[in-house]
Structure 1
Amino acid sequence: MPQNEPLSVNARGMKCPWPVLRAARAMRGADAVLVEADDPIAPAELAALATAQGWAFETLGDHRFSLRRAG
């Protein structure tokens, strides 16, 4: 059952594809996920995941990103 509060995913220190895999798994049961990831490739990979799934993607700064279901 989707939740209203964003889930938090700490993927700092993980190399891609792990941050993206963790975010995708978290989104299975949530409407929004806040991801912390410091791999330089993570922003592009998270954005690609969001585009593929029809989710909104936002860079929040300081290695923090938001994934959110539309509507």
Structure 2
Amino acid sequence: MADRTLDASGLRCPMPLLKTKLELNAMSPGEDLEVIATDAGSARDIPAFLNLSSHTLVESTEANGEYRFVIKCGG
């Protein structure tokens, strides 16, 4: 169970990524963020951002055009 959930469904690129960054900035290290997005670009953009950050991608799934990410906030 994530500490916070960000529903970015219906938002177009780059808004899911920008909202994810803002949400992570407001969180404490160790907290989990669940992101739900429907923009296919999120499947590429969010993991690419996380690879360059202190945050960790815990889980990534896709089903019926819905992309779900669980991210552990880094320090």
TM-score by length of 1: 0.79
* One-letter code aligned to 2:14: P
Aligned to 1:18: 15
Unaligned runs of 5+ in 2: none
More RCO (CA 8 Å, sep 6+): 2
Residue range with higher mean Cα deviation, 59-68 or 32-41: 59-68
Cα pair 2:33 2:73 within 8 Å, conserved: no
1:69 aligns with 2:73: yes
Percent of paired sites with the same residue: 21
Q: Which amino acid aligns with 2:53?
A: Q
Q: Which residue of 2 aligns with 1:27?
A: 24
1:56 deviates by 1.2
Structure 1: segments with no counterpart, 5+ residues: none
The equivalent of 1:49 in structure 2 is 49
Residue 40 of structure 1 corresponds to 40
Deviation at 1:8, TM superposition (A): 0.8
